[in-house]
Amino acid sequence: MNMQAVYNIAEICARHGLTDVVLSPGSRSAPLTIAFARHPAFVGKVRVIPDERAAAFIALGIAQATRRPVVLVCTSGSAGLNYAPAVAEAFFQQVPLLVLTADRPPEWIDQLDGQTIRQQNLYGRHAKGSFDFPVNTTHPDEKWFSERIINEAINLAQAAPAGPVQVNVPLREPFYPKAGEKITFEQDVKIIRETKNVLRPTSEAIKELGVAFDSYSRILFVFGQQQHQLWQTLLDKGWSDYTLEEITGAVFVGDIISNVTSENISREEGFFDVTHYSQDVGLADSSEELKSELKPELLITVGLSLISKSLKQLLRQHAPQEHWHIQPAGEVADTFKSLTKIIRAEPAEAILMLMEAVTAEHLLPENKQSMRAVYRLSWDAVMGKSTQFLLDENNLIYKPTVFGEFASLARCLRSLPQTTALHLANSMAVRYANILGIWPGRQIEVFANRGTSGIDGCTSTAVGYALARPERPVVLLTGDVAFFYDRNAFWHNYPLPNLRVVLFNNHGGGIFRIIDGPRQQPELDEFFETRQALTAENTCRDFGMRYFPVTDFAALDAALPAFFAAETGAAVLEIFTDSRTNAAFFEEYRAAVKKAFS
């Protein structure tokens, strides 16, 4: 088989500015492997990860860090299926991946040939698109076709909303060049570039939105998961938190993974402090009377998923009159069952245009100003009390009666190094962090696999980010089940001096003791908690990471400075707790919140 068209895949990727490749060893994929390994643009950027599931999540983490598509290469058969969890996560997080799955030629599918499955459109609706590379490329039209679909796949992966795209590459033997044979990369390959479409509503549409905005007195902005720091974009364009509030008179609320809370942005004048972030405290067990006070007339949402169940319940049970969602492209979820308008624009651009179209709040009629002020005060009172509770040095989170994971996680958050890329594993780690928020002034960016909210690749994603950004501290907060499930994240030959893993080991799925439902069942211990007796000591020994085990607050406080020190290198801080104690403490915390708001 003439492999020149296959080798040209690497050349086309390089011309599009792709820089990172993650591959897993295999024979059928050998031509792809050789092409990327020998192409000068990818020297030092082709990483070998043996476990395909870990490889795909590592690629996801690299793509999060670089904000460019990462190339994934695997052999035929079940190898590509092992990419599926990360492909689904990338799809719902809108992270670009170019997935190259080597395959048997089509005539050998379903013929009981080894390592052969049905790989066309392998990821179904969890990929943005799927292309089939031609088997024969000797005819000029076939060569044109092969180059065209690689360009289309790369452009599709990056076009809004970004996401994973599969190219299935059937290959016939012989796969390998002869000994000493040099391969070449043609310079006249076809390149199709796509100009980014900057979507802007028409001036008439913006004016119409401004008039509608002016008519409402209770306006709530809610920010879901997003990578880019929206407020920083606004600041770079000359806007400030003060003008946001002065012009809109609105309330701003964001989860920790929205990266728009005050802790994530800093500037010379102080901290960007428009956005409320403590809704998981203030809205927990809130009365119907309070929910009615906080109900918006106009809801404007930006970003993807929300963590806060309390906020989702508020907005579903007390629906606004109108719900506008800002999103440049793609399907839009009606999360709160109240969606009335989709604004097709980049979030920062849409907010800037909206601010230019609305009447400044202080220029509105006095009764409108008064009503907006009353609505803001309702939220400020609740969120202010929440923040005061969270920052109170004498509350049970910072002066606990027993050693446990919630209070330990709070101490770890307070100790994070400046500019950390914080990765939150699913289950309790992301929930605890969303309650507590980030300690002010750290300029920390937050990541979590909340596209599918699975535990399967949390560690690998953090590893990928650490590989791509070696100059930046990367911290993963994770539970024991997620950690041990994904240990192959470390099964490779690449140093991770900037990675720190804080592992909360309660020897089981402790979340099931906290959420209603499973904790009341007699099968809890055996069938929900997945009890296990593992520790990370052997994992650290196997993969050359420093190991910090702690079992009390004194040991934790002593370990944190050394653990986070830059010279420490890759390390795991394993915090041993008891799941029953953790569950009892969380109930104590909930009672304290209820008392504070009664």
Whether residue 16 is found in the same domain as residue 54: yes
Examine residue 395 and state whether it is found in any structural domain, yes or no.
no
**Where is 502: in which H helix or E strand?**
strand 499-505
Whether residue 123 is found in the same domain as residue 28: yes
Whether residue 448 is found in the same domain as residue 572: yes
Q: What is the pLDDT of residue 234?
A: 75
- Quick: pLDDT tens for 110-167: 888 888 899 999 999 999 999 999 999 989 999 999 999 999 999 999 999 999 999 9
Whether residue 156 is found in the same domain as residue 254: no
- Quick: pLDDT tens for 343-394: 999 998 899 899 899 999 989 999 999 999 999 999 999 988 898 888 888 8
Burial 252-278 (b: 16+ CB within 10 A, else e): bbbbbbbbbbbbbbbeeeeebebbbbb
Percentages helix, strand, coil for the chain (3-state, rounded to 5) are 45, 15, 40
State the Cα–Cα distance between residues 371 and 378, nearest whole angstrom.
11
Whether residue 416 is found in the same domain as residue 380: no
Whether residue 341 is found in the same domain as residue 478: no
Q: What is the pLDDT of residue 268?
A: 39
Do 305 and 451 touch, CB atoms closer than 8 A?
A: yes
Q: What is the pLDDT of residue 58?
A: 98
Does the pLDDT at position 206 exceed 50?
A: yes
* For the chain, percent of residues with pLDDT exceeding 70: 93
Residue of higher predicted confidence among 491 and 1 = 491
Question: Residue 146: what residue type?
Answer: S
Domain holding 274, by residue range, is 203-388
Tell me the pLDDT of the chain averaged across its residues: 91
Whether residue 137 is found in the same domain as residue 285: no
Examine residue 281 and state whether it is found in any structural domain, yes or no.
yes
β-pairing, 546-550 with 499-505? unpaired
Does the pLDDT at position 79 exceed 80?
A: yes
Does the pLDDT at position 526 exceed 80?
A: no
**Where is 70: in which H helix or E strand?**
strand 70-74
Examine residue 396 and state whether it is found in any structural domain, yes or no.
no
Band (274; pLDDT cuts 50, 70, 90):
low
Q: Among residues 170, 190, 216, which one ends one of the domains?
A: 170
Q: What is the pLDDT of residue 598?
A: 76
Whether residue 48 is found in the same domain as residue 166: yes
State the Cα–Cα distance between residues 97 and 398, nearest whole angstrom.
42
Whether residue 14 is found in the same domain as residue 149: yes
Examine residue 399 and state whether it is found in any structural domain, yes or no.
no
71-80, 225-234, 324-333: least confidently modelled range: 225-234
State the Cα–Cα distance between residues 211 and 214, nearest whole angstrom.
5
Q: Among residues 170, 185, 212, which one ends one of the domains?
A: 170
Q: What is the pLDDT of residue 272?
A: 42
Whether residue 115 is found in the same domain as residue 142: yes
Whether residue 504 is found in the same domain as residue 409: yes
Q: What is the pLDDT of residue 516?
A: 66
- The token duo for 8 is 């040209």
- Quick: pLDDT tens for 283-309: 987 888 999 999 999 999 999 999 999
Examine residue 196 and state whether it is found in any structural domain, yes or no.
no
**Where is 349: in which H helix or E strand?**
helix 347-357
Does the pLDDT at position 271 exceed 50?
A: no
Taking alpha carbons only, the member of 392, 387, 410 closest to residue 585 is 410
Do 362 and 369 touch, CB atoms closer than 8 A?
A: yes
Q: What is the pLDDT of residue 392?
A: 85
Examine residue 146 and state whether it is found in any structural domain, yes or no.
yes
Decide: helix, strand or coil at residue 17. coil
- Quick: pLDDT tens for 431-455: 999 999 887 777 899 999 999 999 9
Q: What is the pLDDT of residue 322?
A: 98
Does the pLDDT at position 503 exceed 90?
A: yes
Does the pLDDT at position 266 exceed 50?
A: no
Q: What is the pLDDT of residue 269?
A: 38
State the Cα–Cα distance between residues 554 and 377, nearest whole angstrom.
41
- The token duo for 496 is 């991770």
Examine residue 181 and state whether it is found in any structural domain, yes or no.
no
Band (276; pLDDT cuts 50, 70, 90):
confident
- Average pLDDT rounded to a whole number, residues 37-53: 96
Does the pLDDT at position 45 exceed 70?
A: yes
Does the pLDDT at position 510 exceed 90?
A: no
Band (229; pLDDT cuts 50, 70, 90):
low
Does the pLDDT at position 512 exceed 80?
A: no
Decide: helix, strand or coil at residue 547. strand
Does the pLDDT at position 488 exceed 60?
A: yes
Does the pLDDT at position 273 exceed 60?
A: no
Q: How many domains, in total, are found in the chain?
A: 3
CATH number, domain at 471? 3.40.50.970
Examine residue 464 and state whether it is found in any structural domain, yes or no.
yes
Whether residue 212 is found in the same domain as residue 324: yes
CATH number, domain at 296? 3.40.50.1220
Q: Among residues 326, 358, 388, which one ends one of the domains?
A: 388
Burial 456-468 (b: 16+ CB within 10 A, else e): bbbbbbbbbbbbb
Q: pTM of this prediction?
A: 0.93
